Amino acid sequence: MTLLQKLKQRFRRDSVTLDLHDIQALILRSRPEPYVGVHAMLHFNEADGARALLGRLAPHIASADNWSEDLDFWIGAALSFEGLKALGVPEAQLKTFPLPFQQGMAARSEQLRDFGPNAPENWDEVFKAGNCHLALTIYAVDDTALDKALATARAELDKSSGVTLLGEHRFGAPDGAKNPFGFRDSISQPAVDGSGVDPLPGEERAIKAGEFLLGYESENGQALGMPEPAALGKNGTFVVLRKYNSRVGCFNAFLKAHGETPDEHEHLAAKMFGRWRSGAPLTLSPDHDDPELGADPQRNNDFDFKDDPKGRVVPLGCHMRRLNPRDSELTLLTDVNIHRIIRRSSTFGPVYSEDVAPEDDAKGDRGLFFIFISARAYDTIEFMQQEWINRGNFVDLGEERDPIVGLHEDDGRFTIPQAPARKRIDGIQTFNVMKGGEYLFMPSLSAIQWLAAGSWG
């Protein structure tokens, strides 16, 4: 049974309280597995043409409504602040958007700790400040479905004037859900209250919908501030898009330099991520990979850290535990449930191989579009980049950074707690280098029509 079929089986319409017909599918539907797709970035040169394109695209943008429908592709659309401006949205409404969104990702480099190799001046042209107005994403179950979706989108684009296609980037993970480093990803996702899909074992409880969608109650009991009017804000959400080039060769060389045998390399890699390549969590399988466990959604996220407070099984500083400390005791008190994110990342480039060498990294052909969705996306990403990724003092690790996505301008360190003495490994590098990104608003389907109509009253 495919992942989508499994998901559809878990869908219960009688527990739905959200306006699924108005919410973009990308928000509430997982990627297919395996998946292929395209990200297309567009620039609006002129408001009338841009609004006409939005209007023509609107019927093709999938809603989260019918989980039993056999969709073999879905298109999602998100706009930057500059995009909304270029559509002609009036100032009174523009200023109801969060300030970081208004400024755009490049202008937030200080808060995001995007310095040195990750700084905006080194980003791809597409993502240079103000360029990307509309980001279209297509997820498809196979190349045939993707070609069909692309033909649809291109036909609408060909009819348009006043819009420039800045770039199109194909992605996909033919080997299931493996990312550029050969690790299964997108496993741990929050369940969204009212979406009709109950939490899987290990997810404890569904998180209030207002954490992920505008216009619903959040974890603090109220709806978060929403762009106005409600016709524009309600059922929409915010998206963080960050494109990384993965230095897989460097990562391989690092593993080989710090272990004698392939088993030792695999063990170190698992300690850095918190899971084995198959997705099997270290907590449930501390000594070796277990592909059956990794592929089983009923078991692969069913754990917490209460029996591992010092991180002897899952290091406190590994990628997965940093970005969701679950029940770990944190030195800096934080409500973990308001920092949950829906991840919709996509991998590009050749399938992982242990033979990739550092010199191969210069091609820049492997990487990941890290994409996440949250109604408080900008606070969350800036908090994560500052506290959980590029520092370590929230778990008493001082200035130690995330070994996978941290920025390491000088060689970094990774601590593996163990008895009798913890092991410290130096030589961590920036294994994922930022190539650009943007802060985006993903409107509801009715808001796309509202924007296309341009009657702002």
Residue 187 engages ligand HEM in binding (rule: CB under 6 A): yes
**3-state SS assignment for residue 69:** coil
Question: By CB under 6 A, which span of 86-94, 175-183, 221-229, 444-452 interacts with ligand HEM?
Answer: 175-183
> Cα(101)–Cα(82) distance, rounded to whole angstroms?
9
Residues in region 389-408 near ligand HEM by CB under 6 A: 404-405
Residue 251 engages ligand HEM in binding (rule: CB under 6 A): no
- Residue 412 is inside which H or E element, if any? strand 412-416
- Give me the residue label for tokens 């592909």: 291
Looking at the Cβ atoms of 31 and 275, the one nearer to ligand HEM is 275
Residue 342 engages ligand HEM in binding (rule: CB under 6 A): no
Q: Shortest distance, CB of residue 309 to ligand HEM, whole angstroms?
A: 17
Question: For the purposes of burial, counting CB atoms within 10 Å of the CB of 193, is it exposed (0-12), middle (13-18) or buried (19 or more)?
Answer: buried
Question: How long a stretch of residues is the chain?
Answer: 457
Out of 123, 171, 181, 378, name the contact with ligand HEM by CB under 6 A. Answer: 181
Q: Shortest distance, CB of residue 449 to ligand HEM, whole angstroms?
A: 32
- Residue 320 is inside which H or E element, if any? helix 319-323
Residue burial 307-320, b: 16+ Cβ < 10 Å; e: rest: ebeebebbbbbbbb
Residue 183 engages ligand HEM in binding (rule: CB under 6 A): yes
- Give me the residue label for tokens 């036909």: 155
Looking at the Cβ atoms of 140 and 323, the one nearer to ligand HEM is 323
**Which residue(s) pair with 184 in the sheet?**
178
Residue 384 engages ligand HEM in binding (rule: CB under 6 A): yes
Question: For the purposes of burial, counting CB atoms within 10 Å of the CB of 426, is it exposed (0-12), middle (13-18) or buried (19 or more)?
Answer: exposed
Looking at the Cβ atoms of 215 and 315, the one nearer to ligand HEM is 315
Looking at the Cβ atoms of 17 and 122, the one nearer to ligand HEM is 122
Looking at the Cβ atoms of 72 and 296, the one nearer to ligand HEM is 296
- Give the pair of three-digit tokens for residue 262: 């392939």
Q: Is the peptide bond before 34 cis (omega within 30 degrees of 0)?
A: yes
Residue 223 engages ligand HEM in binding (rule: CB under 6 A): no
**47-57 vs 143-158: helix crossing angle, rounded to 10:** 140
Question: By CB under 6 A, which span of 9-17, 65-73, 179-187, 449-457 interacts with ligand HEM?
Answer: 179-187
Out of 133, 243, 271, 275, name the contact with ligand HEM by CB under 6 A. Answer: 275
Residue 146 engages ligand HEM in binding (rule: CB under 6 A): no
Looking at the Cβ atoms of 207 and 381, the one nearer to ligand HEM is 381
Residue pair 306/325 in contact (Cβ under 8 Å)? The answer is no
Backbone angles phi, psi at 266, to 5 degrees: -65, -40
Looking at the Cβ atoms of 246 and 444, the one nearer to ligand HEM is 246
CA distances from 149 to 72, 143, 144, 146, 433 (A): 9, 10, 9, 5, 30
Residue pair 392/400 in contact (Cβ under 8 Å)? The answer is yes
Residue 108 engages ligand HEM in binding (rule: CB under 6 A): no
For CA atoms 401, 404, 405, 410, the dihedral sign is: positive
> Cα(108)–Cα(95) distance, rounded to whole angstroms?
17
- Residue 263 is inside which H or E element, if any? helix 262-273
Looking at the Cβ atoms of 208 and 275, the one nearer to ligand HEM is 275
What x-and-dash track marks residues 295-324 binding ligand HEM by CB under 6 A? ------------------------xx--xx
Residue 432 engages ligand HEM in binding (rule: CB under 6 A): yes
Out of 63, 118, 186, 346, name the contact with ligand HEM by CB under 6 A. Answer: 186
Size, binding site for ligand HEM by CB under 6 A: 22
Question: By CB under 6 A, which span of 21-29, 84-92, 99-107, 181-189 interacts with ligand HEM?
Answer: 181-189
Looking at the Cβ atoms of 224 and 269, the one nearer to ligand HEM is 269
Out of 124, 185, 308, 400, name the contact with ligand HEM by CB under 6 A. Answer: 185
Q: Shortest distance, CB of residue 244 to ligand HEM, whole angstroms?
A: 4
Residue 368 engages ligand HEM in binding (rule: CB under 6 A): yes
> Cα(398)–Cα(288) distance, rounded to whole angstroms?
30
Q: How far is CA 55 from the centre of its chain?
A: 27
What is the contact surface with ligand HEM in residues (CB under 6 A)?
179, 181, 183, 185-188, 244, 273, 275, 319-320, 323-324, 341, 368, 370, 381, 384, 404-405, 432
